[in-house]
Chains A and B, each alone.
Chain A
Amino acid sequence: QQQVKQSPQSLIVQKGGIPIINCAYENTAFDYFPWYQQFPGKGPALLIAIRPDVSEKKEGRFTISFNKSAKQFSLHIMDSQPGDSATYFCAASKSGNTPLVFGKGTRLSVIA
């Protein structure tokens, strides 16, 4: 049973575009929702994270939108650049030091 469903699997956008990646979760006990960026051969790096008490969070060019009733959250990347080309993973976890559950990832390509 996949607890965090991520879409799309891959995405190609033009430089300056706004790619949007969506995730849906099933476990209502989840209360921490991070997004990670991963380059080939590297570990995931935290981009931005949100908790269920807010509906939106912005850090630089990255924005998370969170819909608690729909159990969905999404990542928006403003003014995307070729350097943003990477694989993005959404994740979720319950409170306490519990493991993150990852989505399957989205391969983003930003073309000039």
Chain B
Amino acid sequence: GAVVSQHPSRVICKSGTSVKIECRSLDFQATTMFWYRQFPKQSLMLMATSNEGSKATYEQGVEKDKFLINHASLTLSTLTVTSAHPEDSSFYICSASDTGIGYTFGSGTRLTVV
């Protein structure tokens, strides 16, 4: 079946630094990738949608300059949290989608900003 690999699974960084999260579709080409954020005991909140080779579309309230999304190929999308602060600490999850495949989720990245 379709597999999405997300790395790292956990990351701790200092306030003010940047963190990059990678999401790879291993056995299919992901036309579209989605990035979600999940706070403890809450649902997944869509942050942005990215199509290969295009600029990402961000949801209302999500700072595009803070959460940089790159989808340079059909198998790789990255989310960079720039100048991270403690309030950015959360669980970040990517999802890859393609026609006929449906939606496949990564295993998530627990970001802790200290």
- Interface footprint category on A: 20 to 34
Q: State whether A89 and B103 are in contact (beta carbons under 8 Å apart), knowing that A43-B6, A97-B97 are contacts in the complex.
A: no
Interface residue stretch chosen among A52-60, A65-73, A75-83, A101-109: A101-109
Q: Does B102 belong to the interface (CB within 8 Å)?
A: yes
Q: How many Å lie between the Cα of A49 and that of B104 in the bound state? A: 13
Q: How many Å lie between the Cα of A99 and that of B107 in the bound state? A: 18
B114 vs chain A, min Cβ distance (A): 19
B18-77: which have CB < 8 Å to A? 31-32, 34, 41-44, 46, 49, 51
A21 vs chain B, min Cβ distance (A): 13
A60 vs chain B, min Cβ distance (A): 15
Contact of A41 among B31, B44, B97, B110 (CB under 8 A): B110
Query: Do B31 and A44 have beta carbons less than 8 Å apart?
Result: no
Q: How many Å lie between the Cα of A99 and that of B44 in the bound state? A: 11
A34 vs chain B, min Cβ distance (A): 7
Q: Does A12 belong to the interface (CB within 8 Å)?
A: no
Q: Does B78 belong to the interface (CB within 8 Å)?
A: no
Query: Do A99 and B43 have beta carbons less than 8 Å apart?
Result: no
Query: Do A99 and B46 have beta carbons less than 8 Å apart?
Result: yes
Give the total number of A-B pairs whose CB atoms are below 8 A apart.
49
Identity of the chain B residue whose Cβ is nearest the Cβ of A104 in the assembled complex: B43
Query: Do A97 and B32 have beta carbons less than 8 Å apart?
Result: yes
- B31 proximity list for chain A (CB < 8 A): 97
Q: How many Å lie between the Cα of A97 and that of B71 in the bound state? A: 15
- B105 proximity list for chain A (CB < 8 A): 36, 43-46
Contact of B49 among A43, A99, A107 (CB under 8 A): A99
Q: State whether A104 and B42 are in contact (beta carbons under 8 Å apart), knowing that A41-B108, A43-B105, A44-B93 are contacts in the complex.
A: yes
Residues of chain B having any CB pair with chain A under 8 Å:
6, 31-32, 34, 41-44, 46, 49, 51, 91, 93, 95, 97-99, 102-108, 110
CB<8 Å pairs between A and B, sample of 19: A34-B102, A41-B91, A41-B110, A42-B107, A43-B6, A43-B105, A43-B107, A44-B105, A46-B104, A89-B43, A89-B44, A97-B31, A97-B32, A97-B98, A99-B46, A102-B43, A104-B42, A104-B43, A107-B41
